[in-house]
Structure 1
Amino acid sequence: MEILQLPTELLLSLPQYLHNIEDFTNLSSTCRTFRRVCSDASPNTILRLAAASSRVFFRPDPHFLIAATVRQVGEWALLSHDNTEQLRRHIQGGVYSLLHLCVDKAGLTMDDIRRLHASRFSLINPIADMIDRCAGPQFVSTPDFWDGGVSNPATISLEPNRALFQIIIYGELFAPTMQAFLEPDRALPRFDQELRLDFIKYCIPDSMCRSYTGLTVLEVGPYAGTKNELMPQKESDQVGLDYLLTCRTWREAWERVRLAIGPNFDDVSRQIMWESAVQIQGLAGLEMLRPGGLEGWRSRLAEMRKRIESLPVEKRPKESRYGSSGRYYCWESPNMAAEITVTLAPYWGET
């Protein structure tokens, strides 16, 4: 019996036994029968095959595929306390552990993959280049760097593509939590502040991230076996992102977006929430930084601003203090820059 003579249900199961996405595309291009077979493959099967090729076709690995699927995982985790705790354990295991959960709970279609790769040229690469000029190799290679070549020189180590995807993943995972704070009367499910801090600690690891009063760094995932000593890896991702998210170029780019919708709030709590809400929209939200890209977001941003403006004092996110001095703080609602500052408190001298 030839393979094409096998029963339909057996042919449809073939993609489950392939090794990677390259095998899948090769099988799909073999003949019309196999093209139909591959077109019926489940999104989870396609994601599993893509993950097997992550280091070749979906770089930065594993951040690219996490960014593409983590919103699905977040929606699943918000369904129950047990799901949320499972997500927390995988986050504490680091980015590869988080990818394993994505592969287990999410899926991608081939159309999704094509759109993602198209966005690399139209959206991801231009914003990564902007980050490179803000805080990457282009930044530190500026002529006369320490003598006026840039307005705020600093010794940092930041890989632009990885940093961009860390920002995207944070937005994809925690945008629904921000929405819950924007619409408090709906009592939408949301992730707590500690889970967001866990994401910063373990999925954006840094040798400067250590335990101190009010914040604990477990010796798991990227910190396994470190005994609170310097991590063996050279990356300083939190330090790099802390610089990026507070540097003038990055702040002014997002300020232009906000001012196109309305003026700044006089009230500090509203303004902080407004700044974070605009920046936490994941991959699609980066369109706002591209020429003409704001138009597709204008009505949504106007609605966000209206909701923040109407929030009574008692329903605005509360502030939490960290450290023996109480100098380091973040809010109940997502705020990536503030949360990175909290995890880096030992870097600034907190004990």
Structure 2
Amino acid sequence: MVCLIDLPLEILSSLPLYIRNIEDFTEAASTCSILYYAFSSASPNCILRLAAASAPTFVQPHPHFLIAATARQVSDWALGNAENTERLRRAFQGGVEALFELCIEKAGLSLQDIRRLHLARFSTINPLADKIDKMAGAQWYETENFWDGGVSEAATLDTDPGRAAFQIIIYGELFASSMQAYLEPDKNLPKFDLDVRLDYIKYCIPDWVCKSYPGPYAGDVDLINYLVIKSRWNKLWRSVTREIGPDFEEKWKQKLWWDAVQVQGLEGMKVLGDGGVEDCRGTLARIRSQVEKLDEGDEPAKHSIPRRNSENHVSYAPDFSQEVYVYIQR
């Protein structure tokens, strides 16, 4: 009688293409050394698709978790290529589900990546979400005498701190490379323009209007806008930057330094954890050194966006807080 493991290795290696999800994949691979060896050749894209098939039960929040895991790959794929950039922009305009579909098509994950991401959930993502929750979420609302002076800047927000944390991380994963182009202007590195970044905020971070549409939407953009202007959020980042060096005298350099440390994606958010500054000191020192070396002529230009009775100014360099504000004030 012929058993499954008696089949040729080429056939066994193709089985992951027909397996239901990542749980079935890992369980099958663990049954014997032959399947373990055969399944080790599964492509990163195949593993990503299996992980996606496990969502939303095992990969929460969906689809933001897997977008955060793969956004940098999609960014690298599109960066410097006009056709691919336009494809990415169309994905933004289709909302978070369309962006997720593009990530599934163009990116991949290894099992090691998945393990690393699940570890990052506990070491980086959950602590970040907890900080957001304490500043603008359920824990914040539990403050005694909330509406009677218990907190400063009391407000009504429909929040999902976990998803908001991923929105911030995804922005960094998508646009950290664009920030690098402004930190090293002599290299003429490719970068996404402001309109591409605004499309991500406009279409992939839901606002109050999205409440009238089906889906797990709330005012994420309103929460993020409220969060990034709060003194407690800014105090967190000020403690990070000042451990590396004093504020720059030039306002534009200080602004660029401030924005650069906040747009490093998942790895960059480690700085907000216990001992995070020490763990990331090398990266932070490199960014600061790059800002220090910039000349006056390297200051990023600003774009004016008209309003009814005034106009807003936003940098051509990635500036998440101002871009969110500009969208809110549209």
TM-score using structure 1 length: 0.89
Cα distance in structure 2, aligned partners of 1:270 and 1:121: 33
2:320 is equivalent to residue 319 of structure 1: no
SS at match of 1:260: helix
Aligned-residue identity in percent: 49
1:291 maps to 274
Distance 2:159 2:297 in 1: 39
Deviations 1:75-122 (A, max 9, x none): 010141111111111111111111111111111111111111112122
Structure 1 Cα separation of the partners of residues 158 and 306 of structure 2? 26
Q: Secondary structure at the match of 2:313?
A: strand
1:332 aligns with 2:316: yes
Q: Which residue of 2 aligns with 1:307?
A: 290
Between 295-304 and 8-17, the greater mean CA deviation after superposition: 295-304
- What residue is the counterpart of 1:137 in the other structure? 138
Measure the CA separation in 1 of the matches of 2:80 and 2:13.
Answer: 31
Distance 2:275 2:86 in 1: 41
Moved more, 267-276 or 162-171: 267-276
Q: Which runs of 4+ in 1 moved over 6 A?
A: none
Residue of structure 1 in register with 2:213 after alignment: 232
Are residues 1:253 and 2:236 paired?
A: yes
Q: Note if contact 2:12-2:39 (Cα within 8 Å) is conserved in structure 1.
A: no
2:60 corresponds in structure 1 to 59
Q: How many residues align?
A: 326
Aligned to 1:343: 327
Kindly indicate whether residue 15 of structure 2 is the aligned counterpart of residue 32 of structure 1: no
Q: Match of 1:88?
A: 89
- Residue of structure 1 in register with 2:111 after alignment: 110
1:5: Cα distance to partner? 2.0
User: CA, structure 1 residues 112+269, in 2 after alignment: closer, same or farther (shift >3 Å)?
Assistant: same
Q: Are the counterparts in 2 of residues 123 and 286 from structure 1 also a CA contact under 8 Å?
A: yes
2:250 corresponds to which residue? 267
Contact 1:175–1:282, Cα closer than 8 Å, also in 2: yes
Amino acid at match of 1:334: P
The answer on whether the counterparts of 2:80 and 2:191 sit within 8 Å (CA) in structure 1 is no
Q: In the alignment, is the contact (CA less than 8 A) between 1:94 and 1:203 conserved in 2? A: yes
Structure 2 residue 24 is matched with structure 1 residue 23? yes
Instruction: State the shift of 1:28 in Å.
Output: 1.0
Identify the residue that residue 9 of structure 1 maps to in structure 2.
10
Worse-matched range after superposition: 313-322 or 185-194? 313-322
Q: Is the 8 A contact 1:67 1:172 kept in 2?
A: yes
- Give deviations 1:141-191, integer Å, cap 9, x for gaps: 211001111122111122010000000000011000000000001000100
- Determine the C-alpha separation between the residues in 2 that align with 1:4 and 1:299: 48
User: Counterpart amino acid of 2:38?
Assistant: V
- 1:194: which partner in 2? 195
> Residues 214-266 of structure 1, C-alpha deviation per residue, up to 9 Å, x if partnerless?
xxxxxxxx7xxxxxxx7436611111100111111111000000001111123
1:206–1:231: 8 Å Cα contact kept in structure 2? no
RMSD between aligned residues = 1.5
Cα distance in structure 1, aligned partners of 2:76 and 2:310: 33
Distance 1:298 1:30 in 2: 43
How many angstroms apart in 2 are the aligned matches of 1:14 and 1:86?
31
Which amino acid counterpart does residue 304 of structure 2 have in structure 1? R
1:77 to 2:78 alignment = yes
In 1: Cα distance, 2:160 partner to 2:88 partner: 26
User: SS state of the match for residue 56, structure 1?
Assistant: coil
Within 1, Cα distance between the matches of 2:283 and 2:130?
Answer: 27
State the alpha-carbon separation in 1 of the partners of residues 269 and 24 from structure 2: 32
Matches of 1:95 and 1:112, distance apart in 2 = 22
In 1: Cα distance, 2:261 partner to 2:80 partner: 25
Q: Look up the equivalent residue of 1:162 and give its one-letter code.
A: R
2:87 & 2:207 partners in 1: Cα distance? Answer: 23
Q: Which residue of 2 aligns with 1:47?
A: 48
CA contact (8 A) 1:328 1:341 kept: no
TM-score, length-normalised on structure 2?
0.95
What SS is found at the alignment partner of 2:83? helix
Q: Structure 1: any 5+ residue segments left out of the alignment?
A: 209-221, 223-229, 347-351
Secondary structure at the aligned position of 2:304 is classed as strand
Counterpart of 2:183?
182
